[in-house]
Amino acid sequence: MISRLLQSVTNRRAFLGAGAALPLAPILAGTAVAQSPGSLHAGSHMDGMTTVGNVDHARNGFDPHDILTDWDTGTLTTDADGRRVREYEITAVDVEIEIAPGIFFPAWAYNGRVPGPTLRATEGEWLRVHFMNAGSHTHSIHFHGIHAASMDGVAGAGLVAPGESFTYEMPAEPFGCHLYHCHATPLKRHIHKGLYGAFIVDPDPARHPEHTDVARSRLLGSPENDAWQEFVMVMNGFDTNFDDENDVYAANTVAHEYMKRPIRVDRDRPIRIYLVNVTEFDPINSFHIHGNFFDYYDHGTTLTPTLKTVDTIMQCQAQRGIIEMSFADHEPGRYMFHAHQAEFAELGWMSVFEVV
């Protein structure tokens, strides 16, 4: 695996030219996650492949830890008919991002970050997304939701040339965990370059009297929702030498970031993860938790689990869902979670919860 990434970096250096050569030192190497004696849960092995050095998040303009809980709720108004209208501003730009220490990727990004902003709304609202293309190629936004054909973000229905803009309008339907991405061609290149993001529609409890408590627990800002620890994780990969094979994998873009800086969670509060797979060039990605099990809601469009008491799920590209778990009966410590394809884990998609 190390040799493969070394070759990728070498090829990338050649592509950029001597004037923009990348450092070869900060790449994958065997190391151990920093830990205090006795802090590890029995059986949770923390030694292994991780990156050396640190990514400059300030230079990137985003931090994977902020992305976990950074909900873009837009601007909410009420129209003359009493309808709740939620509006968002999204701009596509060309930007170079650091995806592992010393490894840079020429991205196309929504609002300058990969993944793009996590849009969040409530079921039944009317959504208005103002899109500006400040990039160098034609782009769009295609929403995985319910909308008119004229709002589909494809040729003849919302493709936007550089310097132009378009407003997408649609109802916030159905509730669940969704995504959006560019649908310009070549599609695999526009998605892989970074034009994607999560799109969450919270259920309206009034519409679900048979599951009111569950619906309220998903409604952002409610007391029931405040009891949960919610995170969004977008599983992605990066082909650094343009051979249609990924060389770096991650949750929220930066390889092994949550190994170096584990996600701290309170064991007395349940965890909800909005999980989205946008990995290009690989047919599936996966999520596996150590020392625990979870319930899974495929697409998040139900208020009862589609899978109960599992520790691993698979997702094809564009598949998504909601994971719910608890560490209430566990001892404090570090619990790994990662893709259960060893290649993906070793090349960046490996993370840790620090349960306190």
The whole-chain average pLDDT of the chain stands at 90
Tokens 């620090």, residue located: 354
In the chain, CATH 2.60.40.420 covers 2-61+228-355, 70-210
Cβ atoms of 266 and 279 closer than 8 Å: no
pLDDT digits (tens, 9 = 90+) for 111-124: 999 999 999 999 99
pLDDT at 132 over 70: yes
CA-to-CA separations, 180 to 45, 141, 195, in angstroms, rounded:
36, 6, 8
Mean pLDDT along residues 272-283 = 99
Task: pLDDT band for 35, please (50, 70, 90 cuts).
Answer: very low
Q: Which residues contact 316 (CB under 8 A, 6 or more apart)?
A: 277, 283, 284
pLDDT at 40 over 80: no
* Residues β-bridged to residue 272: 230, 324
pLDDT digits (tens, 9 = 90+) for 321-344: 999 999 999 999 999 999 999 999
pLDDT at 39 over 60: no
Mean pLDDT along residues 273-290 = 99
Q: Which range (39-48, 115-124, 218-227) has the least confidence?
A: 39-48
In this prediction the pTM is 0.89
DSSP 227: T
Q: Which residues contact 347 (CB under 8 A, 6 or more apart)?
A: 1, 4, 5, 28, 49, 246, 247, 248, 249, 255
What's phi and psi for 215, nearest 5 deg? Answer: -60, -40
Distance separating alpha carbons of residues 291 and 4, to the nearest angstrom: 31
The pLDDT value given to residue 49: 59
The pLDDT value given to residue 48: 54
Residue from 190, 160, 179 nearest 91 by CA? 160
More confident residue, 22 or 283: 283
pLDDT digits (tens, 9 = 90+) for 44-86: 445 555 889 999 999 999 999 999 999 999 999 999 999 999 9
**Burial (Cβ within 10 Å: 0-12, 13-18, ≥19) of residue 311:** middle
> What pairing do the DSSP bridges indicate for beta strands 263-265 and 47-51?
unpaired
Please give the CATH topology (third level) of the domain spanning 70-210: Immunoglobulin-like (2.60.40)
The pLDDT value given to residue 105: 99
pLDDT at 2 over 60: no
pLDDT at 34 over 70: no
Instruction: Supply 234's token pair.
Output: 């977008």
The pLDDT value given to residue 51: 86
Largest CA distance in the chain: 64
CATH number given to 2-61+228-355: 2.60.40.420
**Burial (Cβ within 10 Å: 0-12, 13-18, ≥19) of residue 256:** buried
In percent, how much of the chain has pLDDT > 90? 86
The pLDDT value given to residue 46: 53
